[in-house]
Amino acid sequence: MITLTEAPFEPGALLAQFCAGRDETGAVASFVGLARAESGQASILELEAYPGFTESAIEAFAVEAAERFELQDWRIVHRVGKIAPGQAVVFVATASKHRRAAFAACDFLMDWLKSRAPFWKKEHGPDGARWIEPTAQDRTDAQRWDV
Amino acid sequence: MARVLLFGRLADQAGWREREVEAGSLAALRASIANEDAALAQALEGPGVQVAVDKALVRGEAVLAAGVEVAFLPPMSGG
């Protein structure tokens, strides 16, 4: 399930919820991305999504990932709007029978979310605001999975 | 009437994010925008800008039924 939210969320609560009631899941892997202050250069991170379109694209990709890694379940929560340094931007959790698949799928989902998901990112800093494009590293990370 | 949505830097450049435009095709829509703001129309044709009609990506020309939503999406940055 994918949720976009303008409100801050508590990653621990999401993880506890995701782990609850699983007696056939051997492994849950999770990742939390936090907004960085960049030594004062980024006072606010602003993420814009296209409601409806962005969720569908993430859902379609995650369903594919679930097949590829034989996941039992997955959960993605992503902030949109204005995000302060230190706040959680993204939460990803994957559930599978064994740990390798859960780790790999979580890594795979994050690489795609960071580089190709339909978001537009703006950094507000002391010198004004600027739109951010994916870094070369983000692209290389995502390409690791292309086969 | 088509409901036109702009995202990211395109919305900043235009000074608007959402607008109704009378157009029966994507070409007519682009022409109508160019009439008013040539620089914006050029940006909408810029590298990496994708177009979605009713939330589905389209390539090239498209006929626009009444009430459709047309979104111009600059290169996506990821989250």
Distance of CA A37 to the CA centre of its chain: 18
Could you tell me the pLDDT band of residue A147, with boundaries at 50, 70 and 90?
low
Q: Render pLDDT for A66-82 as a digit per residue (tens, 0 to 9).
A: 999 999 999 999 999 99
Phi, psi of B43 (to 5 degrees): -65, -35
Q: A78-118: per-residue pLDDT in tens? A: 999 999 999 999 999 999 999 999 999 999 999 999 988 99
Q: Shortest CB distance from B8 goes to which of A48, A53, A114?
A: A48
Residue-wise pLDDT tens digits, B22-56 = 999 999 999 999 999 999 999 999 988 999 999 99
Per-residue pLDDT at A132 exceeds 90: no
Substitution target in A45, A80, A133, A135 with the highest count of B β-carbons within 10 Å is A133
ipTM of the complex: 0.93
Q: Which residue of B has its CA nearest to A80?
A: B79
What's the pTM? Answer: 0.91
Q: Answer whether B4 touches A (CB < 8 Å).
A: no
Architecture of domain A2-132: Alpha-Beta Complex (3.90)
Cα(A113)–Cα(A55) distance, rounded to whole angstroms? 11
Percent of chain B at pLDDT > 70 equals 100
Shortest CB distance from B52 goes to which of A53, A78, A115? A53
Average pLDDT, chain B: 95
Instruction: Print burial letters for A49-71: b (CB count within 10 Å at least 16), e (below 16).
Output: bbeebbbebbeebbeebbeebeb
Note the pLDDT of residue A52. 97
pLDDT on residue B67: 94
A-B contacts (CB, under 8 Å): 56
Domain layout of chain A by residue ranges: 2-132
Amino acid present at B40: L
**Is B49 an interface residue toward A (CB < 8 Å)?**
no
Model pLDDT for residues A14-47, shown as the tens digit of each residue: 999 999 999 999 999 999 999 998 887 878 999 9
Residue A74: name the closest of A99, A49, A102, A34 by CA. Answer: A102
Structure tokens at B16: 């608007």
